[in-house]
Amino acid sequence: MSGKLQDKVALITGASSGIGAAVAKKFAAEGAHVILVARSVGGLEEVDDEIQNAGGSATLVPLDLLDTAAIDGLAMPLFERWKKLDILVGNAGMVGKLMPTQQYVPELWDDVFKLNVHANQRLLRALDPLLRQSEAGRALFVTSSIAHENKQFWSAYAASKAALETIAKTYAHEVAKTNVKVNLIDPGPTRTRLRAIAYPAENPEDHPLPETKAQMFLDAVLSEENGTLFKA
Helix (H, G, I), strand (E, B) or coil at 4: coil
The separation between CA 11 and the C-alpha centre of its own chain, rounded to angstroms, equals 9
Neighbours of 45 (CB within 10 A): 14
- Single out the residue of 8, 43, 12, 33 nearest to residue 193, CA to CA: 43
Q: Which residues lie closer than 8 Å to 97 by C-beta, 6 or more apart?
A: 104, 105, 108, 156
Distance CA 113, CA 108 (A): 9
Cα-flanking dihedrals φ and ψ of residue 2, to 5°? -130, 155
Active site residue 157: yes
Q: What are phi and psi of 20, to 5 degrees?
A: -60, -45
53 contacts: CB under 8 Å, gap ≥ 6: none
E strand spans, the chain = 9-13, 33-38, 57-62, 87-90, 138-142, 181-186, 229-231
**Annotated catalytic residue, options 104, 157, 171, 199:** 157
3-state secondary structure of 11: strand
Q: Please give the positions annotated as active site.
A: 157
